[in-house]
Structure 1
Amino acid sequence: MDDTDTQLLRLMQRNADTSHAELGRQVGLSATGVHKRLKRLRESGVIKRTTVVLDRAKLGLDLMCFLKVNFKNNLASPNPDELHEALRTLPEVLECYTLTGTNDAIVKVAVRDHVALREFLRRFSEAQGIIDRVETCIVLEELRDGNDYAVRADE
C-alpha cells in the first residue's frame, strides 16, 4: 500500500458512496485509476466488504447495551460452532468478541427498549447453554461511533 491507497481507504471509510471520479479528484487519479486500486484492495482482502450504516435511533432501536459474559468453564474457550450458532439466531447482536481478562466475551446489542432487552436476555440465556453469568451495561451516551481504522501506508 502506498500513500494514495491510504488516502483512498480513509475517504472510503468516511463515505463508500463517493464516486470514483470524486475520489480521483481528491487523490489526483482518474476514475479508472481509482477503480483499479479499489479492485486490487478488494482482491487482496484489505477491503472486506462495502456496507450501509443505518441510523439506529430512526429504526427505533433506542437502547444500546454491552453484555459482559462469563462462560461456565472459564478455563477453556467455548465451542466456537456452538457460540456462532447461538449468536446467529439473535438479530439484536451487533458484535461479539472473546476476551482476555475477567470476562470471557463482550457482546454489543441494540434493542427497542427495556422490555425488548429483558426478552432478548431471556432468549440469549436460553440459546447459550455455555453461559454462567452476564452483566448488562446500558449505554448512556455515544461519544464516538464507527469503525474507522487508522490507515497508514507501508513504511
Structure 2
Amino acid sequence: MDITDNKIIDSLKKDSKASLTNISNIVNLSVPSVRERINKMIDNGVIRRYTIDVDYKKIGYDIDVLINITLSNSIYSEFKEFISQQKHVDFCYRISGDSCFIFKARFKEMLDVEEFIDVLKSYGHTETQFIFPSST
C-alpha cells in the first residue's frame, strides 16, 4: 500500500461507482494501472466489498437508536443468531464494559421500537439511546 493506493481507496469510499477514468485522473495513472491496483487490493482483501449509502429517512425510517444489551445466562450464541436475522439492525458489536453488545437499529414508528425492546428483554437488560439528526 502506498499513497496512490490510499488515494484510490479514498475515491472509492466517496463513490463506489466512480469510473476508472475518473480515478485515473485523480491519481495520475493510466486506467489499466488503476484497474490493476484495485484488483490487487481486492485479491489481498483490502477492498472487501462495494456498498451503497441509503438515506433511510427518505423511505420512512425516521427513528435511529443505539441499544446496549447485557445478556443474562451467557446466551451469546442464541443472541448473535437472533440479532443477525433482524433486518432493521445496521450493525452489532460485542464490547467490553458493563454491556455485552451494542447495536444500531432503525424503525419507522415508536411502537416498533417498543415491541423490539420487549423482545430483547428475553435476552437480558437493555439500555436505549435515541440518535438525533445531525445538523451537518
TM-score (norm 1): 0.80
Structure 1 residue 106 corresponds to structure 2 residue 106: no
- d(CA) in 2 for partners of 1:16 and 1:89? 26
SS at match of 2:17: coil
Taking only the aligned residue pairs, the percentage that are identical comes to 24
Task: Tell me if the contact between 1:90 and 1:124 (Cα under 8 Å) persists in the aligned partners.
Answer: no
Q: Secondary structure at the match of 2:50?
A: coil
The separation in 2 between residues aligned to 1:51 and 1:143, in whole angstroms, is 25
Match of residue 34 from structure 1: 34
The one-character-per-residue Cα deviations of 1:3-51 (angstroms, maximum 9, x if unpaired) are 1001101111111111000000000111111111111101111111001
* Aligned twin of 2:76: 79
Counterpart of 2:116 in 1: which secondary structure? helix
2:112 is the counterpart of 1:138: no
Contact 2:67 2:129 in 1 (8 A): yes
Matching residue of 2:5: 5
| 1:55 counterpart letter in structure 2 | D
Bigger mean CA offset, 135-144 vs 20-29: 135-144
1:94 equivalent to 2:86? Answer no
In 1, Cα distance between the equivalents of 2:118 and 2:85?
A: 13
Distance between the aligned counterparts of 2:131 and 2:9, measured in 1? 29
Partner of 1:70: 70
CA drift of 1:143 comes to 6.1
* Cα separation, 2, equivalents of 1:24 and 1:112: 41
Structural RMSD (CA): 1.7
Partners of 2:120 and 2:126 within 8 A in 1: no
| Structure 2: tracts of 5 or more residues without a match | none
**Deviation per residue, 1:99-144 (Å, 9 max, x gap):** 111211101001112011122223444xxx5x22001111112367
Q: Partner letter of residue 58 of structure 2?
A: K
Report the Cα distance in structure 2 between the residues aligned to 1:2 and 1:121, rounded to whole angstroms.
46
Identify the structure with bigger relative contact order (alpha carbons < 8 Å, sequence gap 6+).
1
Q: Which runs of 5+ in 1 are unaligned?
A: 145-155
Q: Which amino acid aligns with 1:39?
A: N
Q: Number of residues paired by the alignment?
A: 136
Deviation at 1:86, TM superposition (A): 0.4
Query: TM-score if structure 2 supplies the norm length?
Result: 0.91
